[in-house]
Amino acid sequence: MKQAFSHLYGSEASVIQKQIRRYERILKSFQENFGEKEAAFFSAPGR
């Protein structure tokens, strides 16, 4: 997971950890609303 995040957000460990926590919160919210379903994340450059 860290390798994918470093590709998107750079190599600074604190930035990667911040983004991992962000995505964990997003996934938790998704699961609270929709149950334990499969989720996917996509990167959209320029957004």
pLDDT tens-digit series, residues 1-47? 889 999 999 999 999 999 999 999 999 999 999 999 999 999 888 86
Task: Tell me if 6 sits within 8 A of 16, measured CB to CB.
Answer: yes
- The pLDDT of residue 47 is 67
How many structural domains comprise the chain?
A: 1
Domain range for 27: 1-43
Q: What is the pLDDT of residue 27?
A: 96
Name 5's Cβ contacts closer than 8 Å, sequence gap at least 6.
16, 19, 20
Task: Kindly report the pTM of this predicted structure.
Answer: 0.81
